Amino acid sequence: ETGVTQTPRHLVMGMTNKKSLKCEQHLGHNAMYWYKQSAKKPLELMFVYNFKEQTENNSVPSRFSPECPNSSHLFLHLHTLQPEDSALYLCASSRETGGIGYTFGSGTRLTVV
């Protein structure tokens, strides 16, 4: 265990479904991130939160909706996804947004059918 817990580990959803991914950390970190990793592509940064405030949205389609109720929890709400959204979704946290010492979760493997 890394200290960053993601649930569920695997998710299969239809294109008309609504689902949520959850990320939780109790490392005392103040910054949290969502990354997407598609097959044979580098990790893509999606969203950055610092002290619960969103500081970066990397032109992510609105069918992905993040929520950060506190510094320990991060959600990614999914609706009307496309098959090309199938990927590994990784959550990370860090003490500050300086790029040092990110801790990643194991990810949620999402399949859109």
Residue 14 or 74: the one with the smaller Cβ distance to another protein is: 74
Residue 61 or 101: the one with the smaller Cβ distance to another protein is: 101
Token representation of residue 34: 């969502």
Let me know: does 63 contact 79? Beta carbons within 8 Å.
yes
* Ramachandran class of 103: left when φ > 0, alpha when ψ lies in -120 to 50, beta otherwise: beta
**Binder of another protein out of 19, 27, 30, 43 (CB under 8 A):** 43
Residue 4 or 81: the one with the smaller Cβ distance to another protein is: 4
Let me know: does 81 contact 13? Beta carbons within 8 Å.
yes
**Binder of another protein out of 2, 22, 59, 62 (CB under 8 A):** 2
Applying CB under 8 A, does 39 fall inside the site for another protein? Answer: no
